[in-house]
A = this chain, B = another copy of it.
Amino acid sequence: MNQRTTAEGILFTDQYQLTMAQLYFRLGMHEKQAQFDHFFRHYPDYGAHQAGFCVNAGLDWLLDWMESAHFGEKELEMMRGMTSRTGRRLFADDFLSWLGANGDFCGISLQAIPEGRVVHARVPLTVVRGPFAMAQILETPLLNILNYQTLIATKAARLRESAGEALVLEFGARRAHDRGGNAGTRAALIGGADFSSNAGISHLLGYPPKGTHAHSMVQAFLAQGMTELDAFQAYADIYPDECLLLVDTIDTLSSGVPNAIRVFERLRKKGYAPVGVRLDSGDLAFLSTHVAQMLDAAGFPDASIVLSNELDELIIREIKSQIAQEAAHYGLDADSIIGRLVYGVGTRLITSAGDSSLGGVYKLVGLQGDPGWQPAIKVSEDPGKTAIPGSKRAWRIYDMRGRATADLLTLEEEDPEQLWQSARSQSGFNGDHDKSDQDKLALTLCDPRVRANRRTLPVESISHIEPLLLNVMTDGRVVCDRPTIEQSRTLRREDVARLDNGVRRLINPQLYHVSVSEKLWALQERLLSSLSTQRTDPGS
């Protein structure tokens, strides 16, 4: 257990962060201010379906980790014991002394997009500034914590899209990646799950954990010579106001549901309303339709039907579509069947099945130089992989319908919101204006990857521009309110509602525009050409 705590502390990082930190120390670069951007390049692609947006999550846990992680005596002792392949000590005493005194995140400042917000590829989600050595060491844990929660919040948001207004329950603890499951539960609650079955973390986050019972309960009664009905009745006696029965241990339609209805009838006589039944196998659409019919006939039109068994956003949509087609054959109202469904989603949510990682990266974009701040860039043969250099600001632009139309990255000194505000008030006061004014009153959005792709947005087409990055940590101290899960959910709901339907599409979504300003484009070009000079003259 002690070992586990150590392995999850400051040494929960890649070894090369430590060796690079010592190199920076040796060269006197370790306390230079450095800036890293954290962003992802591609939305999750689940194979048969793809995400058109992500939901940001994990920041609160990152802040917690940063407030406590540091190089203590135990960590320094471990590092003293690390040797190179020829047996030399890897880390020298002077570096370890420096780490002992400075090896925490007290010098680090963070800007970040709040949890729950819709976020897009290539936009910095987190901007880290601080002493080069510690900012470098932060890379691995920051990516570890933020990549996974954003991945799962995104998957949960997709389930929310396909489930509509229905309850979505997160059931994945048993298939989660070790203790990572708790982070996944939290992210699922932010992204779109209503509740989770994971008892401890749900309770700690303020959401009652949810569940029914397992097949083993019914089996235990059968093994003792009793019946499924006895098992259901026992459950109803103990949980009269939480009576949700798993009906597929023997046979759903011929045994489980008739037995559940008998128990529900006795509950009704005692004044309790049953919660419903859970189906965990078979053709869930076909069974839902028939189970709904049986529950209706017995006078339980409000009893829910909880579905589980390898659900995901596409299967939920398929089930709803099959019910819509079949219900009429049985003279039933599809909407009322669909309206009573609840979705329990396990494995495919908690592991983001189909795409089990978000490729978030952490790239050096600037370094305190002599003189002044120097933007940094890493080139790549693939223009999509070239990081956008320098200190930037990120903005979201809304059109006149209130829909998000693009995210725009600018240099730190640019303020498109200010520009737009003053342009708008000018045009508002003046009524109309001449052509040269018009020129000023438009934003030019450049595709960061392809020079020719430019888009011009007249100010009249913009209803709102907002900055996306907020200050969350200054010199190691948290300077923002810690939002509740509920507040993050509200941000998510509002942001998703402001997306175009094409971007929300579950399969082959429309690509959301992420652009850079002309000035940022020019900076990137300048750095790329200076690099290509180096390339033709290596080692000069």
- Whether B238 contacts A23 by the Cβ 8 Å rule is yes
The residue on B at minimum CB distance from A200 is B11
The residue on B at minimum CB distance from A346 is B357
A210-231 contacts to B, CB under 8 A, are: 210-217, 219-220, 222-225, 227-229
Given contacts A86-B241, A144-B176, A250-B538, could you give 17 more A-B pairs where the C-beta distance is less than 8 Å?
A1-B68, A4-B182, A8-B179, A22-B238, A23-B234, A23-B238, A26-B238, A61-B178, A75-B200, A139-B216, A178-B184, A216-B376, A219-B376, A224-B374, A254-B538, A281-B380, A353-B356
- Whether B175 contacts A180 by the Cβ 8 Å rule is no
Q: How large is the interface on A (under 10, 10 to 19, 20 to 34, 35 or more residues)?
A: 35 or more
9 interchain residue pairs of minimum CB distance: A180-B180, A11-B200, A16-B211, A177-B180, A356-B356, A177-B177, A178-B180, A15-B209, A178-B183
Q: Give CA–CA (A78, B61) in the complex, Å.
A: 22
A154-207 contacts to B, CB under 8 A, are: 171, 173-184, 197-204
A119-133 contacts to B, CB under 8 A, are: 132
The residue on B at minimum CB distance from A88 is B241
The residue on B at minimum CB distance from A255 is B538
Q: Give CA–CA (A15, B174) in the complex, Å.
A: 12
A-B contact pairs, 9 of them (CB 8 A): A13-B198, A14-B209, A16-B213, A78-B204, A85-B275, A143-B174, A147-B174, A223-B374, A255-B539
The residue on B at minimum CB distance from A375 is B223
- Chain B residues near A380 (CB, 8 Å)? 281
- Chain B residues near A292 (CB, 8 Å)? none
- Whether A81 contacts B143 by the Cβ 8 Å rule is no
Q: A79-94 interface mask toward B, CB cutoff 8 Å, 1 = contact, 0 = none?
A: 0011111101010000
Instruction: Pick the contact of A203: B78, B184, B202, B539 (CB < 8 A).
Output: B78
